[in-house]
Structure 1
Amino acid sequence: MAVNSGDAAFWDIRYQQHSMPWDSAGLPGGFAGEAQRLLAAGARRVLVPGCGSAYEVEALLQHGAQVLAVDFSAPAVARARALHPQCADAIVEADFFSAAVSGEWDWVYERAFLCALPPALRPQYAAKMAALLPAGSCLAGYFYLGDKRGGPPYTIATDSLQALLGPYFTLEQQLQLPGSLPVFGQDEYWMVWRRTQET
């Protein structure tokens, strides 16, 4: 069977070969200010799925957040722990869609995770986010919008994202931040989706 982006092996190879055009080599543009706003508003328990090199984890921990960062690629987790040894306990090898990732969170941080998934997994993504986030909490971070063919990274059209998340979340904020990586061009947006009352 062909390797695809839903398999850890797909990402293992890219980390082993250092072929990581999504890696920001530091905090993404605009992250510090937007994160501080969410933290100040009470989003203290933060889950980071598909954490990759986990640059944001150290910053979140320094601001007093309770953080769990997960990735199902063992080389990604090894890299993240090597880059941030003081944060190693907060970085765990786990599949986001498995029962190992559970609990209730104030904020799930999105960065190059949804766009890395095969589009067929999007309904599972939305349902899992809804299960992890109680009413009033948020799914917030960077979303790769558009209608380009192929991937990863896979774009998602604005109306498709609304259809995906709308049953669970309300879009509260959308803005373009400086410093997006070339792989995303001008199509990456910071968005805050607020969890609506659970049904």
Structure 2
Amino acid sequence: MNENFWSQRYRENNTGWDIGSVSTPIKEYIDQLTNKDLKILIPGAGNSYEAEYLFHNGFKQVYICDIAREPIKNLKERVPEFPEKQILNSDFFKLEGKFDLILEQTFFCAIPVKKRLDYAKKSSELLTETGRIAGVLFDFELQEDGPPFGGSKEEYLTYFSQYFKIDIFERCHNSIAPRKGKELFFKFRKK
């Protein structure tokens, strides 16, 4: 599951996780954010609809990270004014820097299960002392043939509770129809 793997998925349009717009739970979370100066990271950003939405709503410190070039190219075509220095064509696990907020949307479910604890730890390392991570995790039986791999709230807590205080972790009430009953919204604070 390296750069070639993901690039091939985009070239073949094998992106079933991509809904073509910002997801409702993420949009509603963004809509309640009042500090437009937050430095925000979207890891495994894919086609970056969340970044596009944030950027067009006045958030100018939005950074995307994706290992594949194809979705980055897609964002640049849709939002040519998006700052080049905020587009990180990189492996999330090798990123450096500090962010106020990490937005999670379909990246966690796409990484191999054995890397999930590493994800929680890396997210904590990338956040400022008062940083938060928020977003959506899939809530369905763990799949061997992912991505997406799925998982459960109980499993996710074993990774995140080591590094984060749990503010909200509940079933999404505002998922799109195909994902209804299969998503958990979360908001965690760095310990």
Does the alignment reach a TM-score above 0.5? yes
1:147-162 alignment, distance < 5 Å: 147-150=141-144, 151-162=146-157
Q: Does 1:174 align with 2:169?
A: yes
Q: Which residue of 2 aligns with 1:111?
A: 105
Shift of 1:181: 6.4
SS in 2 for 1:106: strand
Distance 1:163 1:43 in 2: 32
Distance 1:187 1:120 in 2: 22
1:39-78 alignment, distance < 5 Å: 39-40=33-34, 44-65=38-59, 66-78=61-73
Q: Is the 8 A contact 1:43 1:137 kept in 2?
A: no
TM-score of the superposition, structure 2-length normalised?
0.89
Q: Any stretches of 5+ residues in structure 1 without a counterpart?
A: 1-5
SS in 2 for 1:51: coil
Distance 1:12 1:165 in 2: 29
Distance 2:31 2:176 in 1: 19
Q: Could you list the runs of 4 or more consecutive aligned residues of structure 1 that deviate by over 6 angstroms after TM superposition?
A: none
Distance 2:89 2:151 in 1: 27
Task: Percent identity, please.
Answer: 25
Distance 2:182 2:50 in 1: 21
Aligned partner letter, 2:57: H
Distance 1:47 1:22 in 2: 19
Matched residue pairs, number? Answer: 187
Q: Which residue of 1 aligns with 2:188?
A: 193
Shift of 1:192: 0.5
Cα–Cα, structure 1 residues 55 and 78, in superposed 2: closer, same or farther, change >3 Å? same
TM-score of the superposition, structure 1-length normalised?
0.85
Q: Any stretches of 5+ residues in structure 2 without a counterpart?
A: none
Shift of 1:62: 2.9
Q: Which residue of 2 aligns with 1:96?
A: 92
Aligned partner letter, 1:161: Y
Q: Does 1:83 align with 2:81?
A: no
CA RMSD in angstroms comes to 1.9
Shift of 1:63: 3.2
Cα–Cα, structure 1 residues 177 and 85, in superposed 2: closer, same or farther, change >3 Å? farther
SS in 2 for 1:134: strand
Cα–Cα, structure 1 residues 8 and 181, in superposed 2: closer, same or farther, change >3 Å? farther
Offset from partner CA, 1:17-73 (integer Å, 9 cap, x none): 112111121111132221132x32677110011111011112212333211101001
